[in-house]
């Protein structure tokens, strides 16, 4: 997304000529597009890292990267960039309305995350080998997590409800990811086959019309981005926009977008943005519920918000508290 803007503005320029003023022009385009300040700063960082890689491989001069590093990040209240909205919990009714439009795999990912309060990347990275099932409450230790660079260990307790969801997904190779887009695609094909009305003696038989080299194929496991996009697509199906913005039954995707005027496309984008929710909001929902029932400290413990310099004694005490909470709610 960030590099797309670079290509739009400077795609025909020599990379060695891309300097601080060019980067600031790219940043201003992001501001004009309505990107939030935090998203802009992260995107500028990605562009810098691309040029750092280019310097490392002697594709551009070292002065290019040093020049880009001189461009400071946008500060709160010191720029025209939009400040990001606070992440709010998503109500359970909205989640329940979305679930029927999702594959069973993604639906279970959502249920598991809502119960445990883990981060989206934690549910995406879950493997059987990461789960200790020796106790009444299982312990999930992600192989990689958000705060690992602080030297902290992240432990996610899984209570009876979470275990019931997770158990079928543990019946696979120990180091294979539990939640896989390949499983979702297989489920989709099986559902289409079961709903087929054309006799097998007529039309295409299963597997006969697959492309040898498809442009897109299901990955081995979900990422936070593909997980979020799957939810957004389900939201678009669950919360249809009013006429004339919605897609008609006899319209292909292309005909639909060609029919809409530029103003209507903007209205559609606004509608979809307002009716979509992202998986990080499930974590806030879990935290809000736990805080109401058990207090602020309990929510901090379950969500893994303890400070990086706590002693091992406190870490053990907090883990035990998290286990007790998950035994009851998760």
What are the contacts of 76-80 at 24+ separation with CB within 8 A? Answer: 76/37, 79/31, 79/37, 80/31
- What's the pLDDT tens digit per position in 182-220? 776 665 555 554 555 666 666 666 566 666 655 555 567
- What's the pLDDT tens digit per position in 4-33? 999 999 999 999 999 999 999 999 999 998
pLDDT at 150 over 60: no
With beta carbons less than 8 A apart as the criterion, state whether 15 and 54 touch. yes
With beta carbons less than 8 A apart as the criterion, state whether 247 and 253 touch. yes
Contact partners, residue 50, CB within 8 Å, separation at least 6: 3
Between 213 and 110, the higher pLDDT residue: 110
The predicted structure's pLDDT at residue 104: 94
> In which band, very low, low, confident or very high, does the pLDDT at 154 lie, cut at 50, 70 and 90?
confident
Q: What is the mean pLDDT of the chain?
A: 84
- Closest CA relative to residue 181, chosen from 103, 276, 99: 103
Respond yes or no on whether the N-terminal peptide bond of residue 318 is cis (omega within 30° of 0): no
pLDDT at 98 over 80: yes
Between 305 and 238, the higher pLDDT residue: 238
pTM of the model: 0.69
Count CA atoms within 13 Å of residue 27 on its CB side. Answer: 24
- What's the pLDDT tens digit per position in 51-64? 999 999 999 999 99
Distance CA(318)–CA(100), nearest Å, equals 37
Query: CA-CA distances (angstroms) from residue 35 to 5, 27, 41, 44, 80?
Result: 12, 10, 10, 12, 10
């Amino acid at each position: 997304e960030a590099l797309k803007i670079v290509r739009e503005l400077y795609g025909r320029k020599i990379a060695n000529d891309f300097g601080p003023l060019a980067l600031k022009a790219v940043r201003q385009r992001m501001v004009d597009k309505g990107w939030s300040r935090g998203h802009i700063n992260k995107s500028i960082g990605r562009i810098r890292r691309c040029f750092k890689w280019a310097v490392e491989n002697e594709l551009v001069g070292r002065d290019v990267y040093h020049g880009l590093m001189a461009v400071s990040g946008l500060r709160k209240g010191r720029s025209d960039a939009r400040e990001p909205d606070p992440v709010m919990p998503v109500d359970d009714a909205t989640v329940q309305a979305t679930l029927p439009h999702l594959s069973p795999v993604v639906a279970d990912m959502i249920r598991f995350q809502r119960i445990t309060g883990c981060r989206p990347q934690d549910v995406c990275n879950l493997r059987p080998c990461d789960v200790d099932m020796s106790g009444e409450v299982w312990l999930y230790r992600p192989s990689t997590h958000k705060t690992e660079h602080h030297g902290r260990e992240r432990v996610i307790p899984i209570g009876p409800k979470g275990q019931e969801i997770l158990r079928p997904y543990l019946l696979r190779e120990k180091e294979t990811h539990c939640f896989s887009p390949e499983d979702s695609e297989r489920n989709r094909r099986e559902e289409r086959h079961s709903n087929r009305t054309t006799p097998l003696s007529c039309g295409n038989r299963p597997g006969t019309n697959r492309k040898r080299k498809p442009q897109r194929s299901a990955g081995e496991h979900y990422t936070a981005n593909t997980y979020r996009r799957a939810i957004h697509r389900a939201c678009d199906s669950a919360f249809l926009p009013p006429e004339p913005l919605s897609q008609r039954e006899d319209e292909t995707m292309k005909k639909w977008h060609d029919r809409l005027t530029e103003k209507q496309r903007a209205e559609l984008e606004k509608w979809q943005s307002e009716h979509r929710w992202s998986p990080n909001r499930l974590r806030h929902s879990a935290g809000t519920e736990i805080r109401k029932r058990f207090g602020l400290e309990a929510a901090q413990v379950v969500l893994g918000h303890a400070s990086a310099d706590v002693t091992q004694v406190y870490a053990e005490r907090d883990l035990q508290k998290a286990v007790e909470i998950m035994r009851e709610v998760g």
